[in-house]
Chains A and B, each alone.
Chain A
Amino acid sequence: MSADRSIVFVVDDDPAMRVSLESLLRSVGYSVASFESARDFTLMQRPDLPGCLVLDVRLPGLSGLEFQRELGRSANPLPIVFITGHGDVPMSVAAMKAGAVEFLTKPFRDQELLDGVHRAIELDRRARAKATMLAELRARAATMTPREREILPLVAAGQMNKQIAQALQLSEVTVKVHRAQVMQKLRAKTVADLVRIADRLAADADANQPDDTRV
């Protein structure tokens, strides 16, 4: 039912729990990889697939919440579904605030876990799509000349060619040529398209932190 290639990572120190979680997730068609500790998980080369992490809060060594923070700061974060042996409200609040998708107390209903996992994978899929698109846009933007880079925000701000020419002390014709170049390089069909792309690039430049591209 989840289909088109995704993977669930399970980190729980209790072997019995790991095996049962694996079985449950496989029974609905997910690929599963399970680990005894957060360290083991980080040592693995992650496949380039949408996925999520089912994480036990109480772990030997690095605790689940600490690992959540660490993963959040890393270059490729992953949505997390927490599971815990004891439902501790402050702990669940902390986890949810730090961006956890779900916080389940053992024993949990299988549907709750599967729903959480499904949502988490969708989030990751969207985040990955967005990241891919941004990377693509960045690549296109990189082909622009400095002059074109200068013109882009002015066009996006809705200025007429005449105004831009005046501001940059160029001829109106030159501006027109540059503008066509920008449209072409960024593959914008209309001015509205260009405005949207310019916004995304600006937002990306503002953020420019791996943290904030995270879902």
Chain B
Amino acid sequence: MPSGLSPLASPPTRYQLRLAASLSALLVLALLVTAPYARQPAASTEALLPAYAAAVLVVELLTAALLMALFYVQRSRAMLLLAVGYLLSGVMAVPWALTFPGVFDALMLDGALQGTASIAAIRRLSFPLFVIAYAVLSDREFPSGSAPRIILGSIASVLAVVALATWFIVSHDDALPQFMVDAHNVSGLWRFVPAAAVALYGVGLIALGLRRRSMLDIWLMVVLFTLLIEILLISYISGGIRLSVGWWAGRFYGLTSASLVLLVLLSEATTVHARLARSVLAERRARQNRLTAMEALSASIAHEVNQPLASMVTNASAGLRWLERDQPHIDEAKAAFGRIVTEGHHASKVVTGIRTMFLKGAQERVPLDLNHLIDAVLTQCNDEARLGRISVSTALEADLPPVIGNPVQLRQVVTNLVDNAVDAMRGTAEPRFLRVTSQRHEFGEVLVAIADSGAGLAGVDKDRIFEPFFTTKPDGMGMGLMFCQSTIEAHGGRLWAVDDVPRGAIFRFTLPAPATAPRSSEPIR
């Protein structure tokens, strides 16, 4: 489960910590304010009790539902136990209110004096146990079986347990521990219940405090702290007198705090949802962008390959027709077939270029002689240069130190730059010249320059020409220069472009040439 997605499962933020601390401080303050009046009885406030119980039921059921939903997503046993704890506590509020002396007289349950206290004891003591279990269990434990079935099973079990317990408590009042001396005052035996509860809350707080993995842990600590304040007010400061000011105040604070915690959890859950929706949208957009880029790329590749294919097919047709004439025209046919050969090589070059661009194992580096490489590329481009009436010249430094690099990739870089130069001169005024130079550069580097007499780079953003899909050619992919730059930089060099005088452009790149050439003696072409 991606924990980053759920704020509840993510580590608490500073804001959350501050909020939790303020809430706890407020509770302490409320406790201090209430303390002096705690023992005053608030007579005949039984009528408020059903409302209070209903509120507790709603708040705790909602919390349980929220936690169940979290369990449904995370499948962690700890989360399930916590949800069951909330569910049990919430449902138990029903028999508690029903059996409370003087509330539902019509039900004739109030004859049983000990029932309410027993239920309260179960609620008080079971809830921290569940929280402790949650804190102790690892998030990584996952129960087997389908989540909906587990959730339904848990709910059914809780209801069954509450029903059974209620039935037993109502029908066996005599068998219950004697917590109460009358409807409002507790016996000495009751002392143990709040004491045990306080101890359990303490253990729970420590367990959660040690864990403090998530935001949820922090808010559970607030809940336990609230319960602690509540039990202090109900059982100690108010002297355990039911329906006294302290007794009510404790419950009121507890309920308020529980509602606040629920609100926080709900808002967090909403945030999760919003964040999820946002990330799904962002992901979809990113995929769309990738698709568009891929479509553009594949369309460009198709076009690049299709162009030489079209001219090959046309040349072949022309050649056949020259031969099929009444008087076969051998020279024309030969010329056409010669062009097929040239274009075939051109197509293959395009394919190689594309493959090199996506080459795996580009890390393979060997010492190589750039002059050899330049010669090889220029030989290959000879036909095209001749076709474009371009004069090619070179000025290559005689004993250029070898550079370390990937021969296939560097050859492609030089090929791309030479092709670009040839393309740039298409349609420009003659004389058209292409000049390639190589020389030693500062810091033991080698500098290669490819100059053309084309239109130059005036009016073209020199930073953008290396960006992918940026092109000034009607048929261009806009991948060539990007590939050149990333390749040169991957080799520890630099590639840049400047305007030439009086016209044209110069592309220059440097490559590091280690002073002491490795022992592999033969430079590889």
**A and B bind:** yes
The residues in B between 281 and 330 inclusive whose CB is less than 8 angstroms from any CB of A are 299, 302-303, 306-315, 317-319, 321-322, 325, 329
Known pairs A16-B342, A27-B325; A86 contacts B306 (CB<8 A): yes
Rounded to whole Å, the gap between the CB of B426 and the closest CB of chain A is 7
Which A residues lie within 8 Å of B336 (CB)?
Answer: 20, 23
Does A17 lie within 8 Å of B311, measured CB to CB? yes
Q: Assess whether B388 is in contact with A110, with CB atoms less than 8 Å apart.
A: no
Q: Is B502 an interface residue (CB 8 A)?
A: no
Q: CB within 8 A of A20: which of B306, B318, B325, B473?
A: B318
Q: Which residues of A contact B299 (CB under 8 A)?
A: 86
CA distance in complex: A17, B336 (Å): 11
| B173 interfacial by beta-carbon distance below 8 Å | no
Cβ of A106 within 8 Å of any chain B Cβ, yes or no, is yes
Pairwise interchain contact A85-B307, C-beta atoms closer than 8 A? yes
Whether B317 contacts A110 by the Cβ 8 Å rule is yes
Bound CA span A24–B317, Å: 7
In the assembled complex, the CB of B217 is this many whole angstroms from the nearest CB of chain A, namely: 60
Q: Is the CB of A58 within 8 A of B332?
A: no
Report the count of interface residues on B (CB-CB < 8 A): 34
Q: Does A210 contact B (CB under 8 A)?
A: no
Residues A59 and B474 in contact, CB atoms below 8 Å apart: yes
Q: Return the CB mask of A25-39 against B: 1 if under 8 Å, else 0.
A: 011100000001100
Q: Which residues of B contact A28 (CB under 8 A)?
A: 321
In Å, the complex CA distance between A86 and B318 comes to 22
A85 touches B310 (CB 8 A): yes
CA distance A140 to B339 in the complex (A): 55
How far is it, in angstroms, between the C-alpha of A14 and the C-alpha of B475 when the chains are bound? 10
Complex Cα gap A55–B60 (Å): 78
Q: Are the CB atoms of A20 and B311 closer together than 8 Å?
A: yes
The answer to whether A110 touches B427, judged by C-beta atoms less than 8 angstroms apart, is no
- With A16-B346, A27-B321, A36-B427 given, is the CB distance from A85 to B339 under 8 Å? no
Contact B427 A19 (CB under 8 A): no
State the interface size on chain A (CB cutoff 8 A): 25
Is residue A47 within 8 Å, beta carbon to beta carbon, of the partner chain?
no
The yes or no answer to B1 lying at the interface (CB within 8 A) is: no
CB contacts (< 8 Å) of B321 on chain A: these are: 24, 27-28, 110
Encode contact with B along A78-93: 1 for CB under 8 Å, 0 otherwise: 0000000110000000
- Shortest Cβ distance from B324 into A: residue: A27
Residue of A14, A15, A23, A109 ringed by the most chain B CB atoms within 10 A: A23
Cβ-closest chain B residue relative to A29: B325
* Complexed CA–CA distance, A162 and B475 (Å): 72
Tell me, rounded to whole Å, the shortest Cβ–Cβ distance linking A80 to chain B.
18
Please tell me if B343 contacts chain A, counting CB pairs below 8 Å: yes
Q: In chain B, what residue has the closest Cβ to A110?
A: B317
Q: State whether A85 touches B303 (Cβ < 8 A).
A: yes
Give every chain B residue within 8 A of A85 (Cβ-Cβ): 303, 306-307, 310, 475
Chain A residues whose CB sits within 8 angstroms of the CB of B17 once the complex forms: none
Q: Which residues of B contact A158 (CB under 8 A)?
A: none
User: Residue-by-residue, is A56-74 near B (CB-CB < 8 Å gives 1, otherwise 0)?
Assistant: 0011100000000000000
* A14:B427 contact, CB within 8 angstroms: no
CA distance A199 to B307 in the complex (A): 50
Residues of A within 8 A of B325 (CB): 27
Q: Are B427 and A60 in contact (CB under 8 A)?
A: yes
In the assembly, what is the distance between CA of A24 and CA of B275, in Å?
63
Contact between A27 and B318 (Cβ–Cβ < 8 Å)? yes
In this assembly, does B335 line the interface, its C-beta being within 8 Å of a C-beta of chain A?
yes
> By CB atoms of chain A within 10 A, which of B299, B312, B321, B473 has the most?
B321
Residues of A that sit less than 8 Å from B by CB? 13-17, 19-21, 23-24, 26-28, 36-37, 58-60, 85-86, 106-110
A20-B318, A27-B321, A86-B302 given; 12 more Cβ-contact pairs under 8 Å: A13-B427, A14-B307, A16-B339, A16-B342, A23-B335, A27-B332, A58-B474, A85-B306, A106-B307, A108-B310, A108-B313, A109-B317
Interface residues of B (CB under 8 A from A): 299, 302-303, 306-315, 317-319, 321-322, 325, 329, 332, 335-336, 339, 342-343, 346, 387-388, 426-427, 473-475
